Chain A
Amino acid sequence: MSDLPPGDDNRGGGKDRFPSGKDDGYSPGARLPSWMHAIKAQHINDESNTIVNDVHRAFVEGYTPGHGGQKVKDWMADAEWRPSLYPANFTAQNPAGMTSQRATPREQFDPASGGEPPHLDIPRHTTCYGRINKKRSGAKFQDHRSSSADMSRGGRGGARGGGVKGQTWDFDAEFKGDFTPSEKFPAYKVPIPAPVTEKERKEIKHYKDLQDQIHQGPLYTQPSKRDPNAPAKTYSEDQFNERYGVKSKADVDPFTGVPTYTQKYEQKKRVIPELSGRPFNKEFFPKELWDTLEGEEGDDVKAHINRIAKKKALMLSGQRTDLDPSEKAKALLEKIQNVAEEGDEDAEPGEEEAEEEDYDYEEDEDEMGGDYDGEQYFDGGENDEDDGDGGNGGDDY
Chain B
Amino acid sequence: MSRSKHAVELCALLVDETYGELTSRIFTILLRRGRLPITLLAQHTRLSPRQLRHGLVVLLQQNLLFYHTDTDSGVTHYEANHDAAYALIRSGKILNIVEERFGEQSRDVVQNLLLLGHTKVADLTAAYEAQKPTSNGHSNGHSATNGVSYTNGDHVNGVHDSQVHSTGQLHAILHQLLEAGFIEPVNQIMFTSPTDLYNKVEKELLPAGGTKGIKQKEELRLAIEGRMQALRDQRPDWRPKGNNKRPHNGDGPNGTIKRRRLSNGAVNGNSQYLDESIRLDSELVLRINYEKCNVALRSQSLVSLANQRIGETTSYVYAEVLRLIEPYIPRCRIESEKDSNLFEKANVSTAELSAVISSSVNVALGIGKASKDKIDTKMLEQASGRKRKANEAEVDSDGDASSDESESDEEMVGAGDGEDPFADGQKRKPGQAKVTFQDKPEDRQSRMLQLRNHLMLLAADDRNLLSKCGGGGQGQWTVDFNTLVKHLREIELDNLILENFGRQGHRLARILRKFGKLDEKQLPQHALMKQKDVRTKMVEMQMAGFVDIQEVPRDNNRATSRTIFLWFFDMDRVTAIVLDNIYKAMSRCLQRLEVEKRQANDIITAAERSDVRGKEEEVLSANQMNQLREIRGKEEKLLAQVARLDDLIGIFRDF
Q: Does B150 reach chain A (CB closer than 8 Å)?
A: no
Among residues 48 to 74 in chain B, which have CB atoms less than 8 Å away from a CB atom of chain A?
48-51, 53-58, 60-62, 67, 69
Contact pattern, A 269-304, Cβ under 8 Å of B = 1, otherwise 0: 011110100011101111111001100010000000
For A191, the chain B residues whose CB sits under 8 A away are 499
The chain B residue sitting closest to A271, CB to CB, is B22
For A341, the chain B residues whose CB sits under 8 A away are none
Count of A-B residue pairs with CB < 8 Å: 172
Among residues 336 to 363 in chain A, which have CB atoms less than 8 Å away from a CB atom of chain B?
346-348, 351-352, 355-356
Given A208-B639, A210-B115, A219-B20, 11 additional A-B pairs, CB 8 A: A206-B99, A207-B643, A209-B111, A213-B111, A222-B20, A237-B29, A267-B605, A281-B118, A285-B57, A292-B50, A355-B48
In this complex, the member of A262, A275, A292 whose beta carbon has the largest number of chain B beta carbons within 10 angstroms is A292
Which of the candidate stretches B39-47, B200-208, B454-462 sits at the interface with the other chain? B39-47
For A200, the chain B residues whose CB sits under 8 A away are 640, 643-644
Q: Does A244 reach chain B (CB closer than 8 Å)?
A: yes
Q: Does B289 reach chain A (CB closer than 8 Å)?
A: no
Among residues 408 to 424 in chain B, which have CB atoms less than 8 Å away from a CB atom of chain A?
none
Q: A204-B92, A283-B188 are in contact. Are A275 and B54 (CB under 8 A)?
A: yes
For B92, the chain A residues whose CB sits under 8 A away are 203-208, 210
Q: List 15 A-B contacts (CB under 8 A).
A: A203-B643, A205-B92, A213-B115, A222-B21, A266-B605, A267-B605, A267-B609, A270-B20, A272-B50, A272-B51, A281-B118, A286-B67, A286-B69, A287-B76, A351-B49
Separation in Å of the A343 CB from the closest CB of chain B? 11
Q: Does A199 reach chain B (CB closer than 8 Å)?
A: yes
Q: Does A49 reach chain B (CB closer than 8 Å)?
A: no
Q: A271-B22, A279-B123 are in contact. Are A210 and B91 (CB under 8 A)?
A: yes
Query: Which of B19, B51, B188, B608 meets A219, CB within 8 Å?
Result: B19
Pair B120/A279 contact, Cβ less than 8 Å: yes
Separation in Å of the A133 CB from the closest CB of chain B? 38
For B499, the chain A residues whose CB sits under 8 A away are 191
Separation in Å of the A162 CB from the closest CB of chain B? 19
In this complex, the member of A271, A286, A347 whose beta carbon has the largest number of chain B beta carbons within 10 angstroms is A286
**Within the assembled complex, what's the spacing in Å between the Cα atoms of A244 and B21?**
9
**Within the assembled complex, what's the spacing in Å between the Cα atoms of A215 and B604?**
13
Separation in Å of the B89 CB from the closest CB of chain A? 8
Separation in Å of the B630 CB from the closest CB of chain A? 15
Q: Does B191 reach chain A (CB closer than 8 Å)?
A: yes
**Within the assembled complex, what's the spacing in Å between the Cα atoms of A200 and B641?**
10
For A262, the chain B residues whose CB sits under 8 A away are 609, 611
Q: Does B83 reach chain A (CB closer than 8 Å)?
A: no
**How many of chain B's residues touch chain A, expressed as a range?**
35 or more
The chain A residue sitting closest to B77, CB to CB, is A286
Pair B643/A241 contact, Cβ less than 8 Å: no
Pair A204/B69 contact, Cβ less than 8 Å: no
**Within the assembled complex, what's the spacing in Å between the Cα atoms of A214 and B114?**
9
Pair A284/B118 contact, Cβ less than 8 Å: yes
Contact pattern, A 203-243, Cβ under 8 Å of B = 1, otherwise 0: 11111111101110101111111001100100001001100
Q: Does A328 reach chain B (CB closer than 8 Å)?
A: no
Pair A351/B48 contact, Cβ less than 8 Å: yes
Q: Does B145 reach chain A (CB closer than 8 Å)?
A: no
Q: Does B93 reach chain A (CB closer than 8 Å)?
A: yes
Query: Which of B38, B57, B119 meets A293, CB within 8 Å?
Result: B57
In this complex, the member of B53, B99, B635 whose beta carbon has the largest number of chain A beta carbons within 10 angstroms is B53
**Within the assembled complex, what's the spacing in Å between the Cα atoms of A237 and B89?**
26
Among residues 95 to 143 in chain A, which have CB atoms less than 8 Å away from a CB atom of chain B?
none
Pair A196/B637 contact, Cβ less than 8 Å: yes
Number of interface residues of A (CB under 8 A): 63
For A217, the chain B residues whose CB sits under 8 A away are 115
For B57, the chain A residues whose CB sits under 8 A away are 273, 275, 280, 285, 289, 292-293
Q: A289-B53, A297-B53 are in contact. Are A347 and B39 (CB under 8 A)?
A: yes
Q: Does A259 reach chain B (CB closer than 8 Å)?
A: no
**Within the assembled complex, what's the spacing in Å between the Cα atoms of A205 and B162?**
15
**Within the assembled complex, what's the spacing in Å between the Cα atoms of A208 and B115?**
12
Q: Does A381 reach chain B (CB closer than 8 Å)?
A: no
Q: A297-B50, A346-B49 are in contact. Are A223 and B20 (CB under 8 A)?
A: yes
Q: Does A181 reach chain B (CB closer than 8 Å)?
A: no
In this complex, the member of A191, A204, A283 whose beta carbon has the largest number of chain B beta carbons within 10 angstroms is A204
For B186, the chain A residues whose CB sits under 8 A away are 281, 284
Among residues 561 to 585 in chain B, which have CB atoms less than 8 Å away from a CB atom of chain A?
none
For B22, the chain A residues whose CB sits under 8 A away are 221, 271-273
Q: Does A184 reach chain B (CB closer than 8 Å)?
A: no
For A355, the chain B residues whose CB sits under 8 A away are 48, 50-51
For B96, the chain A residues whose CB sits under 8 A away are 199, 202-203, 206
Query: Which of A193, A211, A280, A284 meets B17, CB within 8 Å?
Result: A211
**Within the assembled complex, what's the spacing in Å between the Cα atoms of A196 and B99?**
19
Separation in Å of the B171 CB from the closest CB of chain A? 18
**Chain A interface residues toward B at CB < 8 A:** 191, 193, 196, 199-211, 213-215, 217, 219-225, 228-229, 232, 237, 240-241, 244, 262, 265-267, 270-273, 275, 279-281, 283-289, 292-293, 297, 346-348, 351-352, 355-356
Contact pattern, B 597-619, Cβ under 8 Å of A = 1, otherwise 0: 01000000100111110000000
In this complex, the member of A219, A288, A351 whose beta carbon has the largest number of chain B beta carbons within 10 angstroms is A219
Q: Does B25 reach chain A (CB closer than 8 Å)?
A: yes
For A220, the chain B residues whose CB sits under 8 A away are 19-20
For B605, the chain A residues whose CB sits under 8 A away are 266-267
For B377, the chain A residues whose CB sits under 8 A away are none
For B644, the chain A residues whose CB sits under 8 A away are 193, 200
Q: Which 5 A-B pairs have the closest CB atoms?
A: A207-B92, A221-B20, A206-B95, A203-B92, A221-B22
**Within the assembled complex, what's the spacing in Å between the Cα atoms of A210 and B22?**
19
Q: A237-B44, A280-B61 are in contact. Are A207 and B639 (CB under 8 A)?
A: yes
Query: Which of B54, B118, B285 meets A272, CB within 8 Å?
Result: B54
**Within the assembled complex, what's the spacing in Å between the Cα atoms of A14 and B29?**
69
Pair A356/B21 contact, Cβ less than 8 Å: no
Q: Does B18 reach chain A (CB closer than 8 Å)?
A: yes
The chain B residue sitting closest to A196, CB to CB, is B640
Pair A241/B91 contact, Cβ less than 8 Å: no
Query: Which of A193, A293, A352 meets B50, CB within 8 Å?
Result: A352
Pair A210/B114 contact, Cβ less than 8 Å: yes
**Within the assembled complex, what's the spacing in Å between the Cα atoms of A291 and B89?**
32
For B21, the chain A residues whose CB sits under 8 A away are 221-225, 244
The chain B residue sitting closest to A288, CB to CB, is B76
**Within the assembled complex, what's the spacing in Å between the Cα atoms of A346 and B54?**
15
For A204, the chain B residues whose CB sits under 8 A away are 92, 636, 639-640, 643
Q: Does B270 reach chain A (CB closer than 8 Å)?
A: no
Q: Does B23 reach chain A (CB closer than 8 Å)?
A: yes
In this complex, the member of A221, A241, A275, A280 whose beta carbon has the largest number of chain B beta carbons within 10 angstroms is A221
**Within the assembled complex, what's the spacing in Å between the Cα atoms of A217 and B114?**
12
Pair B610/A210 contact, Cβ less than 8 Å: no
For A203, the chain B residues whose CB sits under 8 A away are 92-93, 95-96, 643
